[in-house]
Chains A and B, each alone.
Chain A
Amino acid sequence: MIVKRKSIEQALARALASGGDFAEIFLECRRISSIGLEAGRIEKVHSGLDQGAGIRLLAGDSSIYVYTNDISPSGLLKAATDANMALKQKLTDVRLPALTEEGPAQKQPHNNVIEIDQVVELLTKADAEARSVGDEIKQVLVRYRSSDQRVQIANSLGKMVTDSRSRTTLIIHIVAAKGDIVQTGYESLGSCNDNAIFTEDKVLELAVSSAQRASMLLSAKPAPTGRMPVVLAGEAGGTMIHEACGHGLEADIVGKDMSVYAGKSGQRVASELITVIDDPTLPGKYGTYSYDDEGTPAQETVLIDNGILKTYMYDLKWARRQGVESTGNGRRQSFQFSPIPRMSNTYLAPGETAPEEIVASTKRGLLVKRMGGGQVNPTTGDFVFEVAEGYVIENGRPTYPVRGATLTGNGPKVLLAVDMVGTDLGFAIGTCGKDGQGVPVSDAQPTIRIPELVVGGVL
């Protein structure tokens, strides 16, 4: 526990002293450390401690949020008073149900952090391995970051949850150059409460693959432009499903009638081949948690089942407004932010076609092996994605690599159009941004074929 029960009970009662229907306190203590290697040197070793509390008050459809670094009993009371002042009513005495404690059955080992000497050694080896790919590798950046977050969440309904999430990431960024041409390669690895994936073999493998990609792109041709079939390989990760479909299924966007999927529950919104799932309970994934940031237990949620829209992703506020239960998707970047509906680990479930067969049955098109970043307008469903590694398909076979390609289209239309779904499943990690808050997520998909997308490049 970060602070004592009594102090929390007082703050919750104070928050509701001038009215409101629900009060919540989110306490957080986070230790971070990051070690960065660039230009062959360990350049940055940073560490820190951030702690604070966020108090939320719901009154009708309004939501009031106050946060502070001061987690002393008087600091919490002051924040609670600031919250209730927004309602400008007379103060009354409030009695709340006693807090009942919950938490994950299996407590995670707290200091799940790799020793600094080990990290330094790992980064140094990764640097050497990447540079061994060739003289064209001009710059290698490797950054390791760990965040050890303890949270204590309590609300006026009597719930109190304590949890800890230890997240680790490693990114490798390569710059390759030959003559005037400069290209980059990128790989990342991330997990929650599980450091087992950070083996030396895995890190060195990523160092080589990112360096090889940057090197290969130096001789890639400019991407073709225009409409064509696009095969997204499983190893490309699920950015597409996250952007083109996931955001439109978040209950706040739906509830404000800003989503193309609003009012479509029970209807066909995608091809029969499409099943989309959000699951924060997958062990060790970057978007994994046991409880969300409102204290709701994590659960698997089937969003689209064989093309039929089943449900949206809810937090408490939007579940309350719609008269349903939270799906455990109420997340926040930190105590500085009010929780909102967010994805966790989101994936398109594997289908029945062998990935090779999907490529073989495509006469001409673009094979995307690695996705870069993307963005979607959830109201129109229009999206763009960057292709980090792509190949032109000719007569059912991937041929030469291309660079500078971007895909654009409309999410809902693409989901209806997908005509082949592979048996594989590839994950990618990321930090998803929404309303100025970044949260760790992962996404995945099998190899799929989209009969027609606009591919953009330089004429």
Chain B
Amino acid sequence: MKNAAVIVKSSLQLADKAGAEATEIYFTQHDSLAIEVRAGKLETSNRSCERGLGIRVIKAGSFGYAFTSDLEQAAIAAAVEMAVQGAKYSSLDTEPGFPQPADYDTALAQFDPGIVETPLEEKLNLALAIEQAALAADHRITMVERAVYEENNSSVLLANSHGLNVKYRLNFCGGYTWVVADDNGGDVQTGSGLSYATQLAQIDPTAIGQEAAQRAVQLLGAKPIKTQKLDLVLPPRVAARFLGILATALTAEAVQKGKSLFAGRLNEEIASPSVTIVDDGSLPGAINTAPTDGEGVPSQRTVLMSNGVLHGFLHNFYTASRAGTVSTSNGVRGSFKSAPEVGPTNMFFSPGEIAEEELIASVDKGLYVFDLMGAHTANPISGDFSLGITGLLIEGGRFTQPVRQVILAGNIQTMLQQVKAVASNLRFYLGFGSPTLLVESLTISGD
């Protein structure tokens, strides 16, 4: 394979010859490793090396996109041709464009050499340590379905015909586990634990194993409760998943297409004053931090909602020019196989002041939620959701009984208005972060 920089340069030239008016080339090489152990032994080891080229062109007022993982000249030329052809069929109502070159902060290229250089043996031991910690945490943990260490290392080269030329390396690693608790009385429950970080040293296998074990054991004996309205305590892991539902509605793309519940509500108070939501692609130590977004716009911090007031939306270069504003550096790309969309980088609820324990103690009748099922079925357009949940009943500020097979139904916007308290324990789960939230009076359907 030729040098990536040479491939990128010659691809730009090929597109120019094929009649593209402007071109953007995105090259990535992605190396990953995943080690899964079970019963004290290696179960699977997965190693990959993947690279490819994404070509975006502008022709006659439209974008065209094509990709190839075959980096021979002929394959690239064919991809360029397909991108140019594609542009001819599509049409846009705003002139498309690519960003101009801009200075970016190379310090945001978070690359821990320790992740690559640490021998395989130690990574295997890390996975084994997760498994052991889960088994040691409680005698009712009868099985660890899997304990996994994984890492991702990537190199990015991004260039466009305006002279933009961005190059950086990133990596992160983490571990997770999935365990089973059995009380020997006929009830079986599961629990999971996970943690990801940009430095290997930050991964604590014991904490991952213990978290999973604790969840599974605490759910033993869970049963449905009667249909009622309850206050909900959403720990970081669960609250972060609601951000996943919100993120789509906070993109300018959804707003411009009339597919966001927040369309036309800028500067309105749409959530409780305790709610502040931020997207920050320049947050040190966060998984999705990078020098630029997928279009080469330098990463930045964007306050989307501040003390309940809607401040703005996420933009890529195109949605920004459509709205007459500037990109918020949210032109995100899944891989070289897709064109930049609009999406979050590191999105989080800003933390409050009180401790989680204090927040729980303040609840008279509520539910501490462990897990959501069916979060992918939530409707980002209407904001309606209806989710299966498990958790612990709170009565008089204390956990009393584990709960399963109940449904939490509501609307994300109503829920934001009912956030009564926000704890101080901000924690990230990959790209989404949250502290523990207390939400008042939501419907739980059960018996």
Q: Which residues of B contact A73 (CB under 8 A)?
A: none
Given A258-B143, A258-B145, verify A42-B91 contact (CB < 8 Å): yes
- Residue contact B1 to A70, C-beta cutoff 8 Å: yes
A138's closest neighbor in chain B, by CB? B258
Main secondary structure of the interface of B (DSSP, over half): strand
Given A45-B65, A45-B87, A183-B382, verify A408-B407 contact (CB < 8 Å): yes
Q: Which residues of A contact B44 (CB under 8 A)?
A: 62-65, 338
Interface hub of A49, A227, A376, A405 (most chain B Cβ within 10 A): A49
Q: Which residues of B contact A139 (CB under 8 A)?
A: 257-259
CA distance A116 to B87 in the complex (A): 12
State how many angstroms separate the Cβ of A29 from the closest Cβ of chain B: 8
CA distance A65 to B65 in the complex (A): 31
- CB proximity to A under 8 Å, residues B232-253: none
The reply to whether the CB of B227 lies closer than 8 angstroms to some CB of chain A is yes
- Residue contact B42 to A184, C-beta cutoff 8 Å: no
State how many angstroms separate the Cβ of B132 from the closest Cβ of chain A: 18
- Residue contact A456 to B407, C-beta cutoff 8 Å: yes
The reply to whether the CB of B67 lies closer than 8 angstroms to some CB of chain A is yes
- CB proximity to B under 8 Å, residues A19-72: 35, 38-39, 41-52, 61-70
- CB proximity to A under 8 Å, residues B402-437: 404-411
The reply to whether the CB of B218 lies closer than 8 angstroms to some CB of chain A is no
State how many angstroms separate the Cβ of B276 from the closest Cβ of chain A: 25
- CB proximity to B under 8 Å, residues A223-259: 225-227, 256-258
- The 8 A CB mask of B339-350 against A (1 = contact, 0 = none) is 100000000000
- Residue contact B443 to A225, C-beta cutoff 8 Å: yes
- Residue contact B445 to A373, C-beta cutoff 8 Å: no
- Residue contact B386 to A406, C-beta cutoff 8 Å: yes
- Residue contact B257 to A49, C-beta cutoff 8 Å: no
The reply to whether the CB of A261 lies closer than 8 angstroms to some CB of chain B is no
Q: Which residues of A contact B67 (CB under 8 A)?
A: 46, 48-50
- Residue contact B409 to A42, C-beta cutoff 8 Å: no
CA distance A403 to B404 in the complex (A): 23
Q: Which among A35, A79, A82, A225 is the interface contact of B445 at CB below 8 angstroms?
A: A225
CA distance A256 to B407 in the complex (A): 29
Number of interface residues of A (CB under 8 A): 73
- Residue contact A66 to B382, C-beta cutoff 8 Å: no
CA distance A375 to B376 in the complex (A): 9
CA distance A331 to B153 in the complex (A): 26
Q: Which of B49-57, B325-333, B357-365 contacts A (4 or more CB under 8 A)?
A: B49-57
Q: Which residues of B contact A385 (CB under 8 A)?
A: 374
- CB proximity to A under 8 Å, residues B369-407: 373-374, 376-377, 379, 381-382, 384, 386-388, 404-407
The reply to whether the CB of A86 lies closer than 8 angstroms to some CB of chain B is yes
Q: Which residues of A contact B189 (CB under 8 A)?
A: 379-380
Q: Which residues of B contact A408 (CB under 8 A)?
A: 388, 405-407
Given A373-B376, A408-B406, verify A380-B91 contact (CB < 8 Å): no
Given A39-B257, A373-B377, A454-B224, verify A69-B69 contact (CB < 8 Å): yes
CA distance A384 to B382 in the complex (A): 20
- Residue contact A52 to B50, C-beta cutoff 8 Å: yes
Given A63-B44, A386-B374, A459-B227, verify A46-B445 contact (CB < 8 Å): no
CA distance A373 to B79 in the complex (A): 35
State how many angstroms separate the Cβ of A363 from the closest Cβ of chain B: 20
CA distance A384 to B410 in the complex (A): 15
- CB proximity to B under 8 Å, residues A375-410: 375-377, 379-380, 382-386, 403-406, 408-410
B75's closest neighbor in chain A, by CB? A49
- Residue contact A65 to B227, C-beta cutoff 8 Å: no
- Residue contact B86 to A372, C-beta cutoff 8 Å: no
The reply to whether the CB of B188 lies closer than 8 angstroms to some CB of chain A is yes
Q: Which residues of A contact B52 (CB under 8 A)?
A: 50, 69
CA distance A46 to B337 in the complex (A): 9
- Residue contact B377 to A41, C-beta cutoff 8 Å: no
Q: Which residues of B contact A426 (CB under 8 A)?
A: none
Given A45-B64, A49-B68, A62-B41, verify A257-B143 contact (CB < 8 Å): yes
State how many angstroms separate the Cβ of B14 from the closest Cβ of chain A: 15
Q: Which among A68, A386, A459 is the interface contact of B48 at CB below 8 angstroms?
A: A68
CA distance A66 to B44 in the complex (A): 11
Given A86-B120, A377-B373, verify A384-B388 contact (CB < 8 Å): yes
Q: Which residues of B contact A103 (CB under 8 A)?
A: none
Q: Which among B46, B376, B388, B446 is the interface contact of A65 at CB below 8 angstroms?
A: B46
State how many angstroms separate the Cβ of B446 from the closest Cβ of chain A: 6
Q: Which residues of A contact B (CB under 8 A)?
A: 35, 38-39, 41-52, 61-70, 79, 82-83, 86, 116, 120, 138-139, 175, 177, 181-184, 225-227, 256-258, 336, 338, 372-377, 379-380, 382-386, 403-406, 408-410, 454-459
The 5 listed contacts between A and B (C-beta, < 8 Å) are A44-B339, A49-B68, A336-B50, A404-B384, A456-B386
Q: List the 6 closest pairs (A to B, CB-CB), nearest first.
A: A456-B407, A384-B388, A45-B86, A456-B445, A406-B386, A48-B67
